[in-house]
Structure 1
Amino acid sequence: MVSSRITARGLEALYRAAVLLNAGLSLEETLQRITDAITDVMGYPVCSVRLLDRTRGVLVTLSAKGTCKEYLQLRKEVKLGEDVSGRAVQTGQPQFVEDMTRENLSETARKLVEKMGVKTYIAVPIKVMDEVVGVFSVMMRRRRRLTESEKRLLELFAEQAGVAIHRARLYEALRRSERSFRELFKLHSQILENIPAGVVWLDKHLRIGWENPEARRIFGTPGVLFDRLVGKDIREINGIKKAGLVKKLTRLMDGKDFRWEGPYTSSSGKRCHIAAIGVPVIEGGEFCGAVVVVSDISDRVAAEQARQKLQAQRIVLKRLQELNRLKNQFIELVAHELRTPITPIKSLVQMFLDEMFGPLTPKQREQMEVLARNVERLARFTKDVLSLSRADADEYPLSPRNFRLKKVIEPVVKLVENKAQAAGMSISDEVPPDIQVHADPDAVAEVLTNLLVNAVTHCPPETKIVVSAKVHGKNAEIAVSDNGSGIPPDILEHVFEPFVQGKRKSGSGYRGAGIGLAVCKALVEKMGGKIWVQNNQDGGATFRFTLPIAKSQ
């Protein structure tokens, strides 16, 4: 009778264990239900389930019923081979102890066993695919031997429990995988939503299924407009047609990828340059969709165009530099050929004026004086052209040194003074004797000569020309000022450009070649200074240029 009751209970316990197989519970819930089934159905008062932690070599109690808290805390973890449960796991065989008082227990454990009134202890290993993964233990409060049917039922229950635990672990692994997949999917979605490239998913009919924000920006299909495109053949988009991408996209259906770069006009009318890559998705040898990645390469194209433009400009600049070199060579050759006869002609004219060949009639003297002035102008023109050409080619021979400014300015003033007096003008030298500069004396003399000749040439009679200088910080400022008619506003900003000619009001009317002031600018800047001009408020104009003051010895 007792045996039949046990068998009935065992069958019920097995049934409940079998139900666990399809319950889809977590591992913790599964272990607790196993414990409940053993104690509630089979009538064992105390039951616990421990799982093996192979890393540490211990059994960890994860579920218990009927055990006092002190014992549970004491036996929370059990080393392999340490007690009945440990021996069951270690041997892989059920362990039966009829009398717990005969076990080798610690004093504390013995007292707790006596407190619970436990006599008999059974431990059955739980296996999964012939591998021990844990143990369930039952305790009875009276000593008795188990029948063979009871032992077999416990073993069968252990087998069912092993399957349930295995399925619970698979269920938890599945849940972890699902969580990982969801997190991975979320991460991928965030990446696709934020990458600086457009991504479009197409189905097997090349209908749009999804596109990220960057693709919407490039194609010009934001918000509602994009919703209208879902399910539409991408080849029907106007921008795709105009860009000539229809054939490229159709290749995807044949399992062929494509690459393309070119101009694109979006649905919103925005123009840009894009790079597109299409990759077919093949499953089971059949085309099932495609992924198209597009990038806005407008900046890259613009940079490449700028690079090509810069390269072309460099080529042009190189050619211009070569032409400039040839021009300078030609000018120097022509100037040299002009200078060769000028000196003897100038000497011969002066000999005629000195009547070394006999007396001159008034008409002859007038003609000789005109010839002398023209020869002088030709000599100055030749010198200015050579100076400008050499300065432009960075070949002007400069030899900067410290010197007193007065020493260079004084002879230049005296040289031009005769010409000024002949034109009814006067030149005053008001340069202080103590100002020293660091520059090339010959270049400074040429600059000052050109400025004074320019004033005498363009100013009316009775003009007063003043040369002055002062020190400003690390520079000396030299000024050539006149009270003539000033410079016309339309050429004031261009007077230092080569071949710019202008006539001052009431001037002599002589129009030079427009080279002298350009020479002045080139020489002053090569000596580390700057030059400028402005009209005076009370009439006339003032040219100013700076030179570095003398360096300490």
Structure 2
Amino acid sequence: MIVKEENKQMFGQLLLDKKIINQKQIKEALEVQKTNGKALGNILIDLGYTTSDLIKSVLNITRKTEQKLAHLFNTSIGMMKCIDQASLFKFIMTEAKRILESDMCNLFLVDEEADEFKCVFIYNEEVREIRLPLSNGLAGYVAKTSETIKLEDAYQSPLFDPELDNNLGYKTSTVLCIPVKQQSNKVIGAIQVVNKKGKGRFTSYDEWLLKSFAIFASNAISMVSAGKIKNPKTRFAENMNMFNLAVENLAEGVIIITQDDDAVVVNPAVKWMLGWKIKKDIDKQETEELLEKSGLGKISKWLRGEVDSLTSEEITIQIPEVRVIKVEFSEINGEINYERKKGCLVVFKDITRDKKFDQVKSEFITIASHELLSPITSMKNAVNLLLQEMLGPNTDSQKKFLHIINDGVEYLSNLTTTLLDITISEIRKVPLKREKVDLDKIIKSTIESQWFKAEENKVSLINNNGSHPSVLADSNRTRQALLNLLDNAFKFTPHGGEIVVSTKSTEDEVEISVKDNGAGIFLEEQDKIFERFYQVENATTKKHYGIGLGLSICKDIIEAQGGRIWVESKGRGGSNFVFTLPLYK
């Protein structure tokens, strides 16, 4: 019961730590939750104490929540199969390292009689241990205070003890250390993950994930240490109950259902989203019936083997209010004593607000694009009149600058038209004028149109393009994509830097790359930058106005022509944007 109460406070504690809400507000929200069963975050939003954006920033929930939870569930099952301490400790540390995407995991177990920590770690694939004073280091502080410690630079903290680093010849940077507690709330040690992969930082969501992981680890350690052997069915049912506690106050709805067992996990958030009775405990059969009524009967069919796979989808719920719910699936193995239990973990995300916001954004883009087309057309006509020397002859310098203005206006015209394409229909459905195109000519003219910008920014713009066969493409759209990538490179390349445009051919396509030596893009952001309205948050982006559409437009244009686009960057080492176009055959 104590563990349950602690889990009820877990999400609220994250908000308290970030000073998003106060103690009085969290208590009021918990009281409301007893009657309506809503997710804690939604109650706080309804009460006006916070916003969905603030909650998202605190949790930093990844788009693959269902995969993380499935890994956590499978790991909790795997712990049950370990019958001795050595295999259990190795399994715990290996899985924590994988789930938290870190370089290493260490276990610190309290030895009260010796007043020491038994520090367990993996070295050369073997489980080893050393003894450390119980009062030393981060683990000592965590075990004593029962607090969670998260460091971005371990060696800057007076709590960090480098002794383990010295023994392993290792350098710790980022750290997340969590107390490991028994159900009686007694601290029996600490679990510590170090150095987030991709030079990232441990988030508040990682805190929740490791705390949940520690609940299962503590239970497994206690059972092995006491020599308790329970039959597989009892252990599986107990595990399902513990997982219910772990996901009880997640903002996302969670359901876990297996083929052979009656136990199910159904957290309050999913009951609220789908309009089910909040306080009522439901069994497997009733869960399947309710899913059928909600339009998700294919889950039962998949469990029976009548459906081959489960794919994500969106459903609309009408009662008690209209909601749009995104449903994601992830298979779980649930294997105990070599008996495979087919099952799936389903995550429900309320995207009603996001849908409304997307609609507002689309309406804004449509209106803004229509309003822009008129003055752009006027400028285009005026420049054409000047280029045709209708008002008198032009000097060579005037002609040069008029051509630059004309190229810029042409680009704005194409961009505005593309914005309308995006809001009216997916670009893949918009007819493209795909024909035999001289790519070298497009690259040369595009780079020449940017020479003034390069001079203004004191950046070297280098054309490393060779001679290549023609490609099958839309010349205007391809030029638009290249201009977008160059514009992006100019934003992030410092004065004195360089931007290099290169190409290379394969049997079926041509690769075009735009490489800069600017700020670079961290690994965790590289899969997001091609999303609409997403912008990398740093000092450089704040200097340049934008709404985060440029790279999204590039992706749509390139993929609509049968090409691919990606970025290569190691963070602070510049970025290389590469796209392909098919050869004309």
User: Normalising by the residue count of structure 2, what TM-score does the alignment of the two structures yield?
Assistant: 0.35
Task: Using CA pairs under 8 Å that are at least 6 residues apart, name the structure with larger relative contact order, 1 or 2.
Answer: 2
User: Normalising by the residue count of structure 1, what TM-score does the alignment of the two structures yield?
Assistant: 0.37
Point out the structure with max Rg over C-alpha: 1
